[in-house]
Chain A
Amino acid sequence: MAGESNGAGVFGSSIRRREDPELITGHAKYTDDLQLPGTVYCTILRSPYAHAKINSIDSSEAEALDGVIGVYTAADIEESGTPGAIPVGWLLPDMKIPDHTMLAKDTARHVGDGVAIVVAEDQYTAHDALELIWVDYEALDGIADPKKATADGAPLVHDMAPNNIAFDWEIGDKEKTDAAFAGAAHVASLDIVNNRLIPNAMEPRAALADYNSITGELTLYMTTQNPHIHRLLMSLASLGLPEHKIRVIAPEVGGGFGSKIHHYPDEAITAWASMQVGRPVKWTATRTETYITDAHGRDHVTHAEMAVDADGKFLGLRVDTYAAMGAYLSTFAPAVPTYLYGTLMSGEYDLPAIHCHVYGVFTHTTPVDAYRGAGRPEATFVVERIVDEAARVSGIDPAEIRRRNFVSPDNFPYPTQVALEYDSGNYEGALDKALAAIGYDDFRRDQAAARSDGKYLGIGLSTYIEACGLAPSAVVGSLGAQAGQWESAVVRVHATGKVTVYSGCSGHGQGHETTFAQIVASALGVPYEDIDVIEGDSGVMPHGWGTYGSRSAATGGSAIASAAEKVVDKARTIAAHLLEAAEEDLEFEDGNFFVKGSPDQAQSLPDVALQAYLAHNLPKGIEPALEATSFYDPANFVFPFGTHIAIVEVCASTGHVELQRYLAVDDVGNVINPMIVDGQVHGGIAQGVGQSLFETAVYDEGANLLSGTMLDYAVPKAHFLPSFETDRTVTPCPHNPLGVKGVGEAGTIASPAAVVNAVVDALAPFGIAHIDMPVTSEKVWNAING
């Protein structure tokens, strides 16, 4: 393919992914594909009750089964001296932090809470033995609805958290916002449920632990988006082993979408089991297990109101949300409905007054944490739905009301009322491009004609912004993060001029080996094929914070660019010495250093590298070898934005919604590899469309998960979706060396509002203001006929 080997032009080209040959031939190794000599298997007995007292556990029958090596409970972990604590990594003021242990001790608090462990010689025996453990449960009342859970008398998840409230958080100015409503010509008001989602990365979580009792070293292969975070938390909290004695390796990882960020009990259990039996231990979740243990997403109950003046200008927004935390505080859960949610409430709009209040609520459910978008899809859904409702009550076209309220391109940096400072943007530019591409005016004519034929077409806009590229460390630290959010890179030029790049990010489908090599090829002017990228091994690269929050290009890519720049600086010093010239007289082009005007007398980067390694003739004070390390801490978040448009047809007699077209105009700054960026947008849209039309985790009144398998939970299939139309505008990020933003979550953030706005638009003749997601035929039919 054109551009695959040339240095400078590689950045920005759609190079096919170098990851793919192993993946398409079945040779790539995921965690469960790995096998160590003497490996035994671990399974975990999980509570079938949402809430139950554990009176006793009888494991004698299981222990007697041929092939069973051991059965363990919370008491065994306690006796071993292992701390066993599952920590929360984001602290909010006055937050209630209940104990969370590797196994439940005396109370199970959600369906799926771990109760006992089996270790056996083979997988089948390990699963058989689970059925021979007899637990005397005393079932207690459970509750799943985050708003109802705060009512007096609701079953308590933790006695230490009255009314199940984990935290009570607010942002913005309540008084100013209330005053804005006093002067409103119109008030839009909506009650919104943001439906609970189950991540469904195609590879179930797994771990393979190998503890060496002689050296005290633990090697843990696992499904992780962030090996160093897992190492850190296992050292500090769950296992208590010295950090330098833990090596966490991410082999091939089959998708994450957030679900492989968190520190679950399971990987610590697997490691602990290896410490007990002195053999490598493997645990692989069944899909059913992932449904009740992978941290879920969303699950908000919200009331939102927008004040609008007579000209359609927004005066104020107020939002009250009950956000489920589930049974325990998962790793970054408290950040999701607070600093990743409330801070996005200004959307793309010049909004003079905002107040957002959030209760984080314990429920007897699987914990909730970051899932693709994490807080920002929920915020965007609130903002873009209330904007459409504001348009409806004001009698203004949805595109026009947005135009009247956008932050204008000459108004950056724009400080919002909810703590963020947007650095750049051209919101109207993206809107115009999208409206032209979809044929907005023509559509409105077609829509009117169709309605007179009894056909209900609808168009929905979502003019979204997101804050990603997590994140400036001091900022997130001041907000409660117990982690930094900078990123690391090593760029190592070998003696022959070949290059190995190490990144602290940890990809799981994003194509970093390709895109990061593209960055380095352009920066160093060396052939793309001469550059390898290595990620995902805490024993190999410097500490890094991993891949999530659309951060890898903006932070990891910037760290790589910064390390490459240091390499070029050092190489320039050496080249100047070799050319007997002053450094400032040297040009660096296509990997060659030469004195201005004399390109034929060049020292190539491989020439310089060889000299740097031989070290026979280096300038005074310059150390041998040619490599550099960078720890890049971003100056700000990055702010991708854009306009997504959905067109639907709703069948009024059955309620069926058909998504006919979906168009996305995204601005993710400079683009390293357009093909990969488009792929991220496609996947993001599919997950957002999934939320809006198909997917939902359903708990009954007693907090039993009814949608507990892929039979009951509608992960979109190919024929549920149309082909997507994608385009871009480019507003480079002003504060990182590559001008890149992030693209992993944009589709998921933008699309739910676009689809639901389209459905509500289609149903305008029926006077329907809102339908909760997923917008099923049943809900639509009831809305029309109810």
Chain B
Amino acid sequence: MGISIELEVNGASVSDEVEPRLLLAHFLRENAGLTGTKIGCDTSQCGSCTILLDGKAVKSCTVLAVQADGSAVTTIEGLANGDYHPVQQAFWDNHGLQCGFCTPGMIISCVDLLSTNPQPSEDEIRHGLEGNLCRCTGYHNIVRAVQDAAETMNG
């Protein structure tokens, strides 16, 4: 039994008929074809699926697609127009990623963190990222990347 929904995804309108139980993460990956949003767990721990929903970071595995009806979603693919967002640039410059699987969600969380706290301390960065797991970097260079991005954005 489908329900019609319409979202703005990365600035473009996307509409579809979906099952009420369809997760937003699956909607973005399967229906909208945006596979940059990753699914790394089934208990909302890992944060790989983090996206911006009406400007706020949410785990898209914990939102039903129907709940996002009428909302604006930004995924990693839509974070910058052509060039890189300062946070993306900083992840590249500071080796803030290795396998890259957690990276889309991590970058979105960092964007959200810096929007609410433009000059976070190291401790605030580490606590601010508690919803996102990374198994490769030990977070060391992710912290450096956030510090670098903060400097650029405040620049």
**What residues on A are CB-neighbors of B38 within 8 Å?**
30, 202-203, 254
Decide: B100 and A509 in contact? CB cutoff 8 A.
Answer: yes
Decide: B76 and A25 in contact? CB cutoff 8 A.
Answer: yes
A96 within 8 A of B: no
As a 0/1 sequence over residues 88 to 128 of chain B, the CB contacts with chain A under 8 angstroms (1 = contact) are 10011101011111111001000000000000001101110
Decide: A721 and B40 in contact? CB cutoff 8 A.
Answer: no
**What residues on B are CB-neighbors of A3 within 8 Å?**
none
B side interface size, CB within 8 A: 57
Binds B, one of A16-24, A148-156, A418-426: A16-24
Inter-chain CA distance A25–B130, complex, in Å, is: 22
Decide: A710 and B41 in contact? CB cutoff 8 A.
Answer: yes
Decide: A686 and B98 in contact? CB cutoff 8 A.
Answer: no
Decide: A287 and B41 in contact? CB cutoff 8 A.
Answer: yes
A676 within 8 A of B: yes
As a 0/1 sequence over residues 702 to 714 of chain A, the CB contacts with chain B under 8 angstroms (1 = contact) are 0000000111000
Inter-chain CA distance A721–B45, complex, in Å, is: 18
Return B111 CB to nearest CB of chain A, in Å: 12
When C-beta atoms are compared, the residue in chain B nearest to A509 turns out to be B99
B137 within 8 A of A: yes
B75 within 8 A of A: yes
When C-beta atoms are compared, the residue in chain A nearest to B85 turns out to be A24
Decide: A25 and B135 in contact? CB cutoff 8 A.
Answer: no
Decide: B136 and A288 in contact? CB cutoff 8 A.
Answer: no
Inter-chain CA distance A21–B97, complex, in Å, is: 11
A619 within 8 A of B: no
Which of B41, B93, B127, B140 meets A682, CB within 8 Å? B140
Decide: B100 and A19 in contact? CB cutoff 8 A.
Answer: yes
Decide: A29 and B35 in contact? CB cutoff 8 A.
Answer: yes
**What residues on B are CB-neighbors of A21 within 8 Å?**
84, 92
**What residues on B are CB-neighbors of A711 within 8 Å?**
43, 45
Which of B36, B37, B45, B130 meets A27, CB within 8 Å? B36
Decide: A718 and B98 in contact? CB cutoff 8 A.
Answer: no
A257 within 8 A of B: yes
A side interface size, CB within 8 A: 57
Decide: A676 and B92 in contact? CB cutoff 8 A.
Answer: no
Return B53 CB to nearest CB of chain A, in Å: 16
Return A15 CB to nearest CB of chain B, in Å: 10
Inter-chain CA distance A286–B45, complex, in Å, is: 13
A765 within 8 A of B: no
Say whether chain A's binding surface is mostly helix, strand, loop, or mixed. Answer: loop
Which of A33, A202, A675 meets B135, CB within 8 Å? A202
Q: Kindly identify, within residues 720 to 753 of chain A, every residue whose CB is under 8 Å from any CB belonging to chain B.
A: 721, 723-724, 747
The answer to whether residues A718 and B103 also contact, given A24-B97, A202-B48, A511-B98 and a CB cut-off of 8 A, is: no
Inter-chain CA distance A21–B80, complex, in Å, is: 12
The answer to whether residues A33 and B42 also contact, given A23-B97, A718-B139 and a CB cut-off of 8 A, is: no
Decide: A724 and B138 in contact? CB cutoff 8 A.
Answer: yes
**What residues on B are CB-neighbors of A257 within 8 Å?**
135
The answer to whether residues A17 and B95 also contact, given A24-B84, A287-B42 and a CB cut-off of 8 A, is: yes
A515 within 8 A of B: no
Decide: A16 and B98 in contact? CB cutoff 8 A.
Answer: no
**What residues on B are CB-neighbors of A27 within 8 Å?**
36, 77
Decide: A255 and B35 in contact? CB cutoff 8 A.
Answer: no
Q: Kindly identify, within residues 48 to 66 of chain B, every residue whose CB is under 8 Å from any CB belonging to chain A.
A: 48
B19 within 8 A of A: yes
Decide: A20 and B75 in contact? CB cutoff 8 A.
Answer: no
Inter-chain CA distance A529–B3, complex, in Å, is: 50
**What residues on A are CB-neighbors of B140 within 8 Å?**
679, 682, 686, 721, 723-724
**What residues on B are CB-neighbors of A29 within 8 Å?**
35
When C-beta atoms are compared, the residue in chain A nearest to B139 turns out to be A718
**What residues on B are CB-neighbors of A22 within 8 Å?**
100
Decide: A24 and B92 in contact? CB cutoff 8 A.
Answer: yes
**What residues on A are CB-neighbors of B101 within 8 Å?**
30, 201-203, 254-255
Decide: A16 and B95 in contact? CB cutoff 8 A.
Answer: yes
Not counting A687-B138, A718-B130, a sample of 15 additional A-B residue pairs whose C-beta atoms are within 8 angstroms of each other reads A16-B92, A23-B100, A24-B76, A24-B88, A27-B36, A30-B35, A124-B22, A202-B40, A202-B48, A204-B39, A252-B99, A287-B45, A682-B137, A685-B138, A718-B127
Can you report 22 residue pairs joining A to B where beta carbons are below 8 Å apart? A17-B95, A20-B91, A20-B100, A23-B97, A25-B76, A26-B75, A26-B77, A30-B35, A202-B99, A252-B99, A252-B100, A255-B136, A508-B99, A509-B136, A679-B136, A683-B135, A684-B138, A709-B45, A710-B41, A718-B125, A718-B130, A719-B123
Q: Which residues of B contact A (CB under 8 A)?
A: 19, 21-22, 26, 29, 34-43, 45-46, 48, 75-77, 79-80, 84, 88, 91-93, 95, 97-104, 107, 122-123, 125-127, 129-130, 132-143
